[in-house]
Structure formats: C-alpha cells, structure tokens
C-alpha cells in the first residue's frame, strides 16, 4: 500500500477532487496548511503599509491506496493541480506497512 500526500493550491482542490473521483478514489483526508518553497511568500499592501506574507495557504491531500492505484492517483493529481507556475506544490509517495479499520478491525487492503 502507498500513502500519497499532495500539497496543492487551494483553488485547485475542486479540480483535484473531481479527477480523483473519476478514477474511483473513495476517500481522502484534507488539511489546510501553510508553507513556502521556491515561491518564498510575497508582499502585499494593506492600508498603505507594505507587509510580507512568508507562509502561503495550501491544501494537503492525503490518500492511502493499493500499490496498483497509486500511479493513477499521482497522474490524476498532477494533471488537475498543475498551473505551470512556481508554487504548484509537491506530491510525496511513501510505503504504508498496515492499515486497520477501527470499527471492524479489518486490516491491510481490506481496511481501505
């Protein structure tokens, strides 16, 4: 099993969710996060004063999937989240040893 974590722009969330639904992803976890990479924040003007925003708002999407679905999920996220601009985000894929559903105590891919 694989854990796919994608950091994306907030306005691309609906596109990513729709793309994942099309390929059969049934569940995901979302977290509102802040961060920066090469973008390094930006400067805004408020009431005549300039101030720097170091951490930009992003959405973190987490999905646990079977090994066979992981590549399709990554491809769908890439296509839906890409704008071609700096700050589009990152996708991390890692191995998951086990998953246990609390309600039924099923484990492994049966718990997905």
User: What would the two tokens of residue 87 be?
Assistant: 């700050």
How would you class 76 by CB atoms within 10 Å of its CB: exposed for 0-12, middle for 13-18, buried for 19 or more? Answer: buried
Average pLDDT of adjacent 10-residue blocks, the chain of 112 residues: 97 97 95 83 71 84 96 97 92 96 92 87
Q: What pLDDT, on the 0 to 100 scale, is given for residue 47?
A: 75
What kind and span of H or E run contains 61? strand 56-65
* Gap between the Cα atoms of 94 and 88, Å rounded: 20
Q: What pLDDT, on the 0 to 100 scale, is given for residue 52?
A: 74
- What's the total number of domains in the chain? 1
**CATH number for position 26:** 3.30.70.120
pTM of the model: 0.85
Which one, of 61, 54, 64, 53, lies nearest residue 89 by Cα?
61
β-bridge mates for residue 6, sequence order? 61, 91
Q: Which domain holds residue 69?
A: 2-111
């Amino acid at each position: 099993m694989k854990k796919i974590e994608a950091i994306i722009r907030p306005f691309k969330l609906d596109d990513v969710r729709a793309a994942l639904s099309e390929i059969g992803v049934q569940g995901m976890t979302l977290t509102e996060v802040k961060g920066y990479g090469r973008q390094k924040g930006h400067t805004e003007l408020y009431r005549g004063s300039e101030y720097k925003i170091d951490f930009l708002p992003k959405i973190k999407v987490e999905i646990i999937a079977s090994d066979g679905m992981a590549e399709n999920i990554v491809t769908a996220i890439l296509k839906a989240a890409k704008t071609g601009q700096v700050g589009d985000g990152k996708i991390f894929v890692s191995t998951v040893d086990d998953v246990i559903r609390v309600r039924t105590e099923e484990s492994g891919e049966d718990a997905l």
